[in-house]
A and B are shown apart, each in its own frame.
Chain A
């Protein structure tokens, strides 16, 4: 069999997904045996024009990490989609919008003002903001256009498979590589994770869930055996797809929801809100307690939509 051709790209994300691929350790050699890397800006020296010169569908699979928040990322997403047989949304940002998707609580103007004018570390007396084109003595310079709204990869191009996680855990990446190597791929549109909630694979003991108060993780030392939610720690487990191996839970930290909603769920945040409000054991006529409940989840929308705002039903703040 001829060697496969592999492309990787990093759009609006932190770079952790690229590192996660390298975390395969010695298995990365198997990847090198299996596939030729034809484009991977962080690791190899092929350029945009090299990809443009390739025939359509000549790349066997593309691992695309990161959300799409500017015109350059959109252009490369479209280019790689044209050139790739299989497009994989790799990691929470490409899958759901991820942490960069939280920018949808603001718009471009607010983000630029904060980043380039207000931030204390700035030295910008001329109040310069990024422009898509600017004239200098040498000619005209261009920058990609920064969008108002961050999008997940499948809101820009067609996506064949999803690999969730922030970043995707190594066993799942191995599974993807094995599936591609053996040509035993699941149906298109599949997510490489469990179809059950994280609670299903969580090793902790679970009893009746009733809480009087919510604690932030730094406020208490949680019992390592008991369900975190029962101890009053906001754990996104009930509303999150399993398959990660409960990594955070095993480190005594609550789930933050990076694997996204369960297969039949359209809105992870709404589900978590529903679950949490149900187990609060307070009197609804007690206005003080009700107000306190809302305050205790310090940033309701930000916590419940931490990784999935661009793909939620209401995918941005109305301005």
Chain B
């Protein structure tokens, strides 16, 4: 169903989409030419050469794809299958280079440092995309995209995607098309909600939960009311009680600098500004009382238990979650319980979230044009993307309907979640449990998401690195205060803030402010 819509849509768009249309149809023989920048892409960079030879005229080239995912047993089999197809199409072969998550950052940065040849490289805000761009790891993509990536431009589900991965106005990566952002939500187990008549629509912040914690602690002694780990903040704090949203560096992953996203002037505040301090203290005191009353797990400072395991055991009835359409069902697939969410934050598209999963072209690529062609295919060709994500039909999965599959267990491919890593997730076959309208609701979600006023801004920390290093240590030392596990949280917050101040947090703020101002100036028109 989905596939056909995509195909039809693509055909209408014009010449440039010929490639898309063919590949999503059943591999029509008349292998197409990538769009010369004509009619539809009239805005393309004029200086760019309009050479787009036929597949047969292309020289053979091998595109290496370095991506974030555990290597799988049948990687080579899938690669071979891909190559058969891609060779016909654009006379290209690919080398799949999956790198396990825990090694990914270290290994790719090593490869960048040593100038190893790579073509397509997975990158993301949380993999230091911005720093790597500053150091020159990736190629600038604007004109390449215009020439060889028309399919990408046409298929991306939100125009905001191409606004985010920019540095000094230039594009350096293409985001994976998936949910562009996340809302934040309180998620409850349906049976508990029913049993105790919890009005979930009225629960808009942590404080609102207190009476139900009390009830359930009494009635269900086996449950953990408020399961937390020692992260330096409760992540609902700013979202539920203020318009402040984090921006800039986050030492030890603690949001430290903020702007009021509804304000006009984008004034940067820090955790040592009074209104933020007040928020922090109120929050910490509340968690302290939850801890003392036994709502929070006693081992919060050090726990390593995976919350999914606890859910499976039926010990969790409430969780704060990042939310997107279908999140509740994902949880049900994992643990078997019915979940229901109350979304408390409107989804905002920030630079960080919109750049949460991307492919870029390495500076060391010997044929960036070809890399872009492959990237274009990853965004438009359902056959290719499903081969990469799910493997080979009847070997790694069986098809149960047009766009729905049943994975074959232990088949050697398809275990690793690659769907959010590569290309266009909306082309992926649906898996058991996922609702038919999942992708439609995601697209709707993407369309409705609010644009963060500083979308596309990234902070360049090179002038204040040493201060940030120091802030990191201080924040790390006090990260447990947000959990309630230590007494006198307010006093500790003051203590921490005094240290942050003397370490120079204000200098970082000023630097951040001036970069934001400059960025706003530049992007006014």
Q: Are these two chains actual partners, yes or no?
A: no
Question: Residues on A close to B: CB < 8 A?
Answer: none
